Chains A and B, each alone.
Chain A
């Protein structure tokens, strides 16, 4: 076993733990904090299924963002959509045999071109941060770095088209990690850079604004039903006030 294999093998275990435990813990925290009052924003659905539809539209189309600013919507939506396509393409590294639809030409090709779309979207977002005075004002170094990090991941991913790597060996490495039968990771520079950046992203996920992903589902203005007159919505801590009287 080479040092590189051992180093990356352990790193991926650690990063995966941080990602899942960290994210799981955040979701747990969010779920136990009560929302003591009904605060949905319009158009506020009256039923649970209405809420499901609303969230679906927010997640899939970024509806609120669309009504707010077309440019940010365009760049943001393209980036996220491309991210999804790229993720689907990458499934082939983690499934053996590869799920049949993942190996479809269209999924693989879309995943490839997605990298360009992603970079386009991210550069658009970066440009907004730099050139729109309002967005520049609110941007911290971490906001720029986050964009640069993801751009770098996409770029290094793309570069492997030209700087060839034994992708089958990479796949065996990940399958090996998953089934605890390690195999060697090729030590090509671009590949290692790509993987290092992904590791970093996994680790910072639960500690950064990437929490907007679970956050949206826990956002009371979006996930609540508008039925306060029909149903009391009392939280445990508020109930205690009632018994005090």
Chain B
């Protein structure tokens, strides 16, 4: 199906707060999941007959399971502080893309069915019935949220719209309305072990090819081990790292780090995916199932540590949830946090002087860094507060001579989403993705103009893929987005043969 033409946003110096245009993107909604994929995740294949009843039942259930949802339904003051904080609102001008506008789609139903004032005075408090139109709105606008949590940082109560989007998606799945992109991918990861549906022989092949490439380029026999029992480190990385550009240069970077540090490591074909789309659809069950594959792989291979590659939401699941979902990890080496981020490993090796760099190798580049939302706002690194901001920057500064941050309001905890997170990295949402990228592109344009920045480094597979598209769309070059560990790999002085 062809995607409709849409007007191309013009990049400004600063992102202005647009005047709202009602229903500007009500036509946008991702493809729905087919019956077979719904069923494989334990959801009905199509909209069930008594869907209202089921949906409200599920909502009541979630309100008892998630304090966040209940407290956030009750506590919004409708103060408007979040209204201009969402990149999708800034890019689309649709008021239902203002975080509170998005929340209110569910809050109206909550008030009607779960509160007294909503029952008795619906008009007064904006309470609405869960009609088919409301469900359609949910499907559309809860899939125009990348669960990036920028709104939550600014809200005086800390209301996290991502929690509400996740709950909405789970409710919709439970009545048979699932999103194709996410649910198909979870199916593949459950069956084969990764989102690309890449079976072991193909994976082994790819890794062999990488070994040859690196050998040819550097003359050094850097290994990309797969399913090696007894290795020290199990590397869990997004499957995009095996194939996609610029992801694969990141993977080469990790391999060089391990090689130079003399660490024994392995990938697993059973858990060949860091991404965990169970989070995007708000399903604890599915998230847990995927997380348990990692535990199983670690047990089967008898490793001592688990390290995650560059992936934003994967790192959120890893850092904030993995121990809870699939722990305890008492069978691993207690001297290391479980799991670790590849940046933590590299940073540590730099501090210990084990890795040395020739920064001039990166002299052709002027770098800026994109804080991926899930790393920036939903996880940490190292043992200092804000390590998720300082560690990647330390690494960049150790490997390059030219680094400039983007505007303060667009980095660290205030970073703008790439526009493709939260399970929206699909071509059926290309209009939303390009419009949502606008604030980030504007911030980038400024450092390009002011400091001659040539490349943006990122540590998230989704960001990298999304930027590859958005860069071309907004007149940058495709290859201006790079993996952070590409910088590491390119500047690393390899002393071991």
A residues neighboring B (CB under 8 Å)? 26, 29-30, 33-39, 41-46, 58, 62, 64-65, 67-69, 72, 76, 125, 128-129, 132-135, 137-143, 145, 204, 207-209, 211-212, 215-216, 218-222, 226, 228-235, 237-238, 241
16 sample A-B contacts, Cβ–Cβ < 8 Å, listed by A number: A30-B67, A41-B149, A42-B413, A64-B81, A69-B81, A138-B80, A141-B124, A142-B125, A145-B124, A207-B115, A211-B74, A219-B71, A220-B71, A228-B320, A229-B337, A238-B284
**Chain A residues near B328 (CB-CB < 8 A):** 232
**Chain B residues near A215 (CB-CB < 8 A):** 71-72, 74-75, 157
**Chain B residues near A41 (CB-CB < 8 A):** 149, 152-153, 158, 160, 377-378, 413
Rounded to whole Å, the gap between the CB of B57 and the closest CB of chain A is: 16
Contact B64 A33 (CB under 8 A): yes
Rounded to whole Å, the gap between the CB of B432 and the closest CB of chain A is: 19
**Chain A residues near B19 (CB-CB < 8 A):** 133
Contact B377 A64 (CB under 8 A): no
**Interface assignment of B3: CB less than 8 Å from any CB of chain A:** no
Q: Which of B71, B84, B152, B386 has the most CB of A within 10 A?
A: B71
Rounded to whole Å, the gap between the CB of B385 and the closest CB of chain A is: 6
**Chain B residues near A218 (CB-CB < 8 A):** 67, 71
B residues neighboring A (CB under 8 Å)? 17, 19-20, 63-68, 70-72, 74-85, 95, 98, 100-101, 104, 115-117, 121, 123-126, 149, 152-160, 163, 284-285, 288, 319-321, 323-324, 327-328, 337-339, 376-378, 380, 383, 385-386, 388, 412-414
Which of B20, B72, B321, B323 is within 8 Å of A134, CB to CB? B20
Q: For the complex, give the distance between the alpha carbons of A241 and B82 in Å.
A: 36
Rounded to whole Å, the gap between the CB of A181 and the closest CB of chain B is: 34
Q: For the complex, give the distance between the alpha carbons of A131 and B249 in Å.
A: 51
Contact A68 B85 (CB under 8 A): yes
Rounded to whole Å, the gap between the CB of B412 and the closest CB of chain A is: 8
A64-B158, A137-B98, A212-B77 given; name 12 further pairs at CB < 8 Å.
A34-B65, A41-B152, A42-B386, A68-B81, A128-B80, A133-B19, A134-B20, A137-B20, A138-B95, A138-B98, A208-B117, A212-B75
> Do A207 and B117 form a contact, CB below 8 Å, given A42-B413, A43-B413?
yes
**Chain A residues near B126 (CB-CB < 8 A):** 140, 142
**Chain A residues near B158 (CB-CB < 8 A):** 41, 58, 64, 216, 219-222
Contact A29 B70 (CB under 8 A): yes
**Chain B residues near A231 (CB-CB < 8 A):** 323
Q: For the complex, give the distance between the alpha carbons of A222 and B17 in Å.
A: 27
Q: For the complex, give the distance between the alpha carbons of A33 and B71 in Å.
A: 10
CB closest chain-B residue, reference A29: B70
Rounded to whole Å, the gap between the CB of A102 and the closest CB of chain B is: 29
**Chain A residues near B82 (CB-CB < 8 A):** 68
Rounded to whole Å, the gap between the CB of B154 and the closest CB of chain A is: 4
Q: For the complex, give the distance between the alpha carbons of A207 and B156 in Å.
A: 20
Contact B76 A209 (CB under 8 A): yes
Which of B71, B78, B98, B324 is within 8 Å of A238, CB to CB? B324
Which of A34, A64, A129 is within 8 Å of B155, CB to CB? A64
- The list of the 8 closest CB pairs from A to B, nearest first, reads A215-B75, A68-B154, A135-B80, A221-B158, A140-B126, A68-B81, A65-B156, A134-B83
Q: For the complex, give the distance between the alpha carbons of A225 and B125 in Å.
A: 34
Contact A33 B66 (CB under 8 A): yes
**Chain A residues near B95 (CB-CB < 8 A):** 134, 137-138
Rounded to whole Å, the gap between the CB of B23 and the closest CB of chain A is: 12
